[in-house]
A and B are shown apart, each in its own frame.
Chain A
Amino acid sequence: MVNQLINNQACLNSVCLPQLSIDCWKCPVIKDRINVAELIFRRNINITRRLREYIFKFSDILRRSYGEDYLFKIMDFCGTHEWTIVHFGIRSLVPNNVELVAGPGCPVCVTPSYYIEQTIKLALEGVVVYTYGDTFRLPALKPVNGTHSLAEAKALGADVRIAHSIVHAAIDAGKHGKDSVFVGIGFETVAPGYAEAALKNLLPSNLKLMSLVKLTPPAAFYSLDILREKPNDYPVMGVIAPGHVSTIIGGKAWTPIVENYGIPVVVAGFEPNDVLMAIAEILRQLARNDIKVVIEYTRAVKWEGDVKAQSSIRTVFETVDSAWRGIGYIPKSGLALRPMFSRFDAFEYFGIKDLTPEEWRYDLPPGCRCAEVTLGKAKPTDCPLFMKQCTPDHPVGPCMVSMEGACAVWARFGGGGLSVEIAKDLGLVM
């Protein structure tokens, strides 16, 4: 039955293939595939109920062996996981000895203010700046000529354009021929796109790439180390690894966590049932003492990742020490263009000096606890600015800007901690 429905390759027959039309989307086979995926992972309340039952049973076993008060902290690395958890209220579905902690997986939150200041400077000098929508609003620490963000620069007449992708920017920049820069923030997921664009010469000669790509595993190890340093707190007992980053780097990239920290890692998808399945699997591994890396998001992630993407990233970029906003330098955690591809390099073309560890200064606004929030040391509600000076409309810190920033997610959907407390007050959760 399953195979009949989802293994059906009828859409690849000669009837639809020669015509390139939007009908592919209406094709019943594809529609059916999407329906099955959505029914299982998002809308199926029976599966959710059952997974919740599993989670409670395993947490009971753990409570018996670790003690009544032991808190099992599970870190969700990815900002998108945090979005799923808060948006679907997953924190209110887990037992009270399990705590979900947000991790550093939000590229906008960790891009140093220095680079934003440099792009604002370029924009004010007349260079066309292409940026993703969330970077557009990202506030810099030091204003450049009174301008705090690219959005303000645009209001002053600078040419700042929002791009969905580097291809979009390349097509647009090819039309006007003016000096342009693409603010290339992101993690491993966007890196193969930049690498392919460089390898296949897709960028016109006037468009330069400012590579601010960060790598996730070093940050993961760093934040786990930081959280272990706090002696009077419970350590992180499990990691929900980012699904889409793992499509590129593979499940194997997370084995150091199992080897060095002895905690389970589950590479999870982004639907609510995916996340619940990951929590159930982590608790099962802890209860059975069978610690390993498990891929839950099997429909997208392979153990080896995508070897071709990894090799094209290695060809175009080299791994460098990189600054994380409010956190500092993390060794081997960034990607810079290799000298061979310096013709695409915005730093070289526009003569921007790269940040060095000596010059890096703490770059969060006073009072903002974004760095602690991204490292899982504090909850957004612990921040004195949260929903007072700092709101999604007027973000002060970087975590309030992006859709994936923990503060922005909590501000929009009420926050996991808050909703649990409200549920407790109402007597809904024991």
Chain B
Amino acid sequence: MCWAVPAVVLDIDDKNSLAYVDIGDGIPRPVVIGIANERVSRGDLVMVHAGVIITRLDLDAINQFIEEKKELARELALMAGDDPEKAVREVEEEFNKIFEIARRAREGERGVVREMW
């Protein structure tokens, strides 16, 4: 029921609540905007489920995920009697490494993603 694919919004037809999206194959497809039209604009990353835009991906929320993970790491370190600041630093370093790899992938370097494995 939750199978959805990320897509990029190419164009919006506000009158009919339709949007044209590209799911990665270069073919513009018409889909219904199921959510508030103000939330969707050209160039946005959205999730498309059975031809309906169900949400806009808000990748700033990754910051929140990182904060949550730091919180978990701190809690566990306190429980185990380790240094909580060190645990948090480790998590930070881990994510910095990911962003570094993402940056290199963006610059066109091939095979960098493999480094994560």
Does B associate with A?
yes
Residues of A within 8 A of B75 (CB): 284
Query: A165 contacts B54, CB within 8 Å?
Result: no
Q: Does B110 contact A (CB under 8 A)?
A: no
- Which residues of A, 1-51, contact B by the 8 Å Cβ criterion? 1-3, 5-7, 11-12, 16-17, 20-22, 24-25, 27-28, 30-40, 43-47, 50
Residues of A within 8 A of B95 (CB): 2, 40
Chain B binder among A91-99, A304-312, A375-383, A385-393 = A304-312
Mask: chain A, 71-85; 1 = CB below 8 Å from B; 0 = not: 000000011110100
Q: Does A404 contact B (CB under 8 A)?
A: yes
Q: Does A298 contact B (CB under 8 A)?
A: yes
Query: A165 contacts B51, CB within 8 Å?
Result: yes
Q: Does A227 contact B (CB under 8 A)?
A: no
Q: Select A36's contact among B17, B39, B55, B99, beta carbons within 8 Å.
A: B99
Query: A308 contacts B36, CB within 8 Å?
Result: yes
Question: In the assembly, what is the distance between CA of A186 and CA of B49, in Å?
Answer: 10
Question: In the assembly, what is the distance between CA of A382 and CA of B58, in Å?
Answer: 41
Query: A306 contacts B17, CB within 8 Å?
Result: no
Query: A33 contacts B3, CB within 8 Å?
Result: no
Please give the distance in Å from B64's CB to the nearest CB on chain A. Answer: 5
Query: A193 contacts B116, CB within 8 Å?
Result: no
Q: Select A248's contact among B34, B42, B63, B73, beta carbons within 8 Å.
A: B34
Query: A196 contacts B34, CB within 8 Å?
Result: yes
Q: Does A242 contact B (CB under 8 A)?
A: yes
Query: A1 contacts B43, CB within 8 Å?
Result: no
Residues of A within 8 A of B39 (CB): 306
Query: A30 contacts B45, CB within 8 Å?
Result: yes
Residues of B within 8 A of A196 (CB): 17, 32-34, 52
- Which residues of B, 36-68, contact A by the 8 Å Cβ criterion? 36-37, 39, 41-43, 45, 47, 49-52, 54-66, 68
Residues of A within 8 A of B52 (CB): 165, 189-190, 192-193, 196
Question: In the assembly, what is the distance between CA of A30 and CA of B1, in Å?
Answer: 26
Please give the distance in Å from B92's CB to the nearest CB on chain A. Answer: 10
Q: Does A114 contact B (CB under 8 A)?
A: no
Q: Select B31's contact among A6, A20, A27, A167, beta carbons within 8 Å.
A: A167
Task: Specify the chain B residue showing the minimal Cβ separation from A53.
Answer: B76
Query: A17 contacts B117, CB within 8 Å?
Result: no
Residues of A within 8 A of B73 (CB): 50
Q: Does B81 contact A (CB under 8 A)?
A: no
**Residue count of chain A within 8 Å CB distance of chain B:** 87
Query: B47 contacts A300, CB within 8 Å?
Result: yes
Interface centre among A192, A299, A301, A306 (most CB of B within 10 A): A299
Q: Does A187 contact B (CB under 8 A)?
A: yes
With known contacts A171-B30, A306-B55, A244–B47 Cβ distance under 8 A: yes
Residues of B within 8 A of A64 (CB): none
Question: In the assembly, what is the distance between CA of A63 and CA of B88, in Å?
Answer: 26
Q: Does A158 contact B (CB under 8 A)?
A: no
Question: In the assembly, what is the distance between CA of A237 and CA of B53, in Å?
Answer: 33
Question: In the assembly, what is the distance between CA of A296 and CA of B67, in Å?
Answer: 12
Task: Specify the chain B residue showing the minimal Cβ separation from A42.
Answer: B116
Residues of A within 8 A of B30 (CB): 167-168, 171
Known: A2-B99, A37-B59. 8 other contacts (CB 8 A): A39-B98, A47-B69, A105-B2, A106-B1, A168-B51, A202-B17, A242-B1, A298-B58
Which A residues form the contact surface with B (CB < 8 A)? Answer: 1-3, 5-7, 11-12, 16-17, 20-22, 24-25, 27-28, 30-40, 43-47, 50, 53-54, 57, 61, 78-81, 83, 105-107, 132, 164-168, 171, 186-187, 189-190, 192-193, 195-197, 199-200, 202, 216, 242-245, 247-248, 270, 277, 280, 284, 296, 298-301, 306-309, 403-404
Which B residues form the contact surface with A (CB < 8 A)? Answer: 1-4, 6, 8-11, 15-18, 20, 22, 24, 26, 28-37, 39, 41-43, 45, 47, 49-52, 54-66, 68-69, 72-73, 75-76, 79-80, 91, 94-96, 98-99, 101-103, 105-106, 113, 116-117
Q: List 16 A-B contacts (CB under 8 A).
A: A6-B59, A28-B106, A35-B105, A36-B98, A36-B99, A37-B59, A46-B94, A47-B69, A54-B72, A79-B2, A195-B34, A244-B49, A245-B2, A284-B75, A301-B55, A309-B36
